[in-house]
Amino acid sequence: MHPRLNPEWLSVLDCREFSGLNSRLMDTSKIIDALGGNKAVMESTGLSKGRISQWRNGERVPLPWLHFFLTRLPQYSDEIQAEIDAEISRKASESEARKEAAA
C-alpha cells in the first residue's frame, strides 16, 4: 500500500493533497456564480483572483468565508451549513490526531 493511503497517515496528511474533498457537500463554483462571479467575490471580499480560482478548483474554503457565503446566500443555507459542519468536524479530527501524536 502506498504510504499516503495508509490509514495511520490519513489523519496527519496535509489536507490540500485531497482538496477535492471540499466539493462533496458544496458546489463552490455555483456559490461564487450566485455571488456574481469571480470579480464580484473579489470586490466584496478583497481576495485575489488566484484565491477565488483555487476555491473554484476544489481547494477547501476557510470557515470564515463559509460563514460569509451563508450570510450572503440564504437560499444555499443547507449546502453551506453542511460544509461548515464538515469543516468543524474535520478541524476537530485534526486536533484530536495532533493530541494523540503528541502523547
Helices (H), 17-75: 28-34, 38-45, 49-56, 63-72
Q: Say whether pTM exceeds 0.75.
A: no
83-to-2, 20, 48, 55, 95 alpha-carbon distances in Å: 29, 13, 22, 13, 18
Per-position pLDDT tens, the chain of length 103 = 334 433 443 333 333 333 333 444 578 888 899 999 999 999 999 999 999 999 988 888 888 999 998 999 999 899 899 889 988 998 899 999 999 998 8
pLDDT tens digit sequence for 38-64: 999 999 999 999 999 999 888 888 889
- Domains of the chain, by residue range, sit at 22-102
